[in-house]
Amino acid sequence: GAVVSQHPSWVICKSGTSVKIECRSLDFQATTMFWYRQFPKQSLMLMATSNEGSKATYEQGVEKDKFLINHASLTLSTLTVTSAHPEDSSFYICSARLGTSGALGEQFFGPGTRLTVL
């Protein structure tokens, strides 16, 4: 099946620094990628939808200047957490959509990146 990778799998950073997380579709081209945030023992919260070559669409309440998303190619999307603070500590998961037609295109999820901000 389709494989999505994320890098790094975990990262610890100091408050005030920026962290970049990469999401790659390894064996297919993904015109759309999604970024989710998951708090402990909770469901996934969609942060933004990333389309190749265009600006990301952010969900209500997500700061676009804090969570910068770039989808430079059909196989790579990046999420940069700028000026990270301890409350940004979370599990970030990306997914890529296989196919573009209708609701039949299922998503394939990356393994997630655990971010800890000290």
Partner 1 sequence: GDSVTQMEGPVTLSEEAFLTINCTYTATGYPSLFWYVQYPGEGLQLLLKATKADDKGSNKGFEATYRKETTSFHLEKGSVQVSDSAVYFCALSVLTGGFKTIFGAGTRLFVKA
Interface mask (CB under 8 A) for partner 1, residues 47-86, using x and -? --x-------x-----------------------------
Name residues whose C-beta falls within 8 Å of residue 107's C-beta, 6 or more positions apart in sequence. 34, 95, 96, 97, 98
Nearest CA to 22 among 2, 46, 4, 6?
6
State which of residues 44, 62, 68, 76 lies at the interface with partner 1 (CB under 8 A): 44
Q: Is 22 in the site for partner 1 (CB under 8 A)?
A: no
Q: How far is the CB of 34 from partner 1 (least distance, A)?
A: 7
Stretch near partner 1 under the rule CB under 8 A, chosen from 13-21, 61-69, 76-84, 103-111: 103-111
Yes or no: say if 48 and 23 are a contact pair by the CB < 8 Å rule: no
